[in-house]
Structure 1
């Protein structure tokens, strides 16, 4: 099914907002945010008129380690009491083909806003068994956590630091046409 213009809402039951960070110089920690919402207004004829907005509940962070998750919620990292959400608002959407796009926008974490560009792979559009039109996609970008005031780190005995500064963000999305 060809991509269709319209308003789409990210289906949180069938989507994932995840991240990866280097840990102890030798491995990676993966996590996700379990509470988020996003609205995409897509114009097939004029993709440059398309928009996307997303809100992530910072408290919903989950790395499968409660102690680490609580530390990530603290002022050392996200300070979720003062900054309960992360926000993304697109400033430009470019469709290279029916399978590829770039979405540039402003990402706000810890009250600090920086521009980011997401590389998007579009897997297509289909009607599900309940008659809903869905678009499947994967989006990814990398950010430097220190750009958002997340400076916590600790030296490790073998040299280097406990945490890498580069964070890979990944969104596996299923968006439902409204």
Structure 2
């Protein structure tokens, strides 16, 4: 079965250390994608596309810098893309999703730990599932290398990025047999 991400109920959030002291949190406001499950509801494929320019951290100057060539370079790389390669069941609705993440034209394998809800009917007759996934990546692996070493030795921007993805997906009706 195919499920489309409901963009109004999808959140892609991240956090990174600033000056080794404070955690800056942000999110991408525009994401789309799909999940394909087998007849038992087990995820088999996950694809997602994030609009890189939709990044928000609550500070307009920082957001502009993150969109610039120093970081995401959104003019040349407007999308961040994830395509799963393998989904491993961990039990009790939990999965490890291995896949290719492409940021700024560089693709690296990442692992997500995900928890998927059982399907439910919404008030409008649609079938929905929910999922939460999380992971960590090193931004330098994707060419995001801009930084400054501070007087006391800490980095201005941490290299490790933690991310969480919370989604709701709506089942796409199967076409009627002819």
With normalisation by structure 1, the TM-score equals 0.92
2:7 maps to 1:12? yes
User: 50, 53, 60: which is aligned to 1:56?
Assistant: 50
Query: Do residues 83 (structure 1) and 77 (structure 2) align?
Result: yes
Distance in 1 of aligned mates of 2:6 and 2:117: 15
Alpha-carbon distance, 1:7 to partner = 0.5
1:21-170, aligned counterparts within 5 Å? 21-45=16-40, 47=42, 50-170=44-164
**Residue 172 of structure 1: which of 144, 166, 169 is its match?**
166
TM-score when scaled to structure 2? 0.92
Cα distance in 2 between the residues matched to 1:129 and 1:45: 23
Query: What are the ranges of 5 or more consecutive residues in structure 2 without an aligned counterpart?
Result: 173-178
Aligned residue for 1:121, secondary structure, equals strand
Give the Å deviation of 1:52.
1.1
Where does the alignment leave 5 or more consecutive residues of structure 1 unmatched? 1-5
* Aligned residue-pair number: 172
Root mean square deviation of aligned Cα: 1.4
4+ residue stretches of structure 1 with deviation over 3 A?
Answer: 44-48
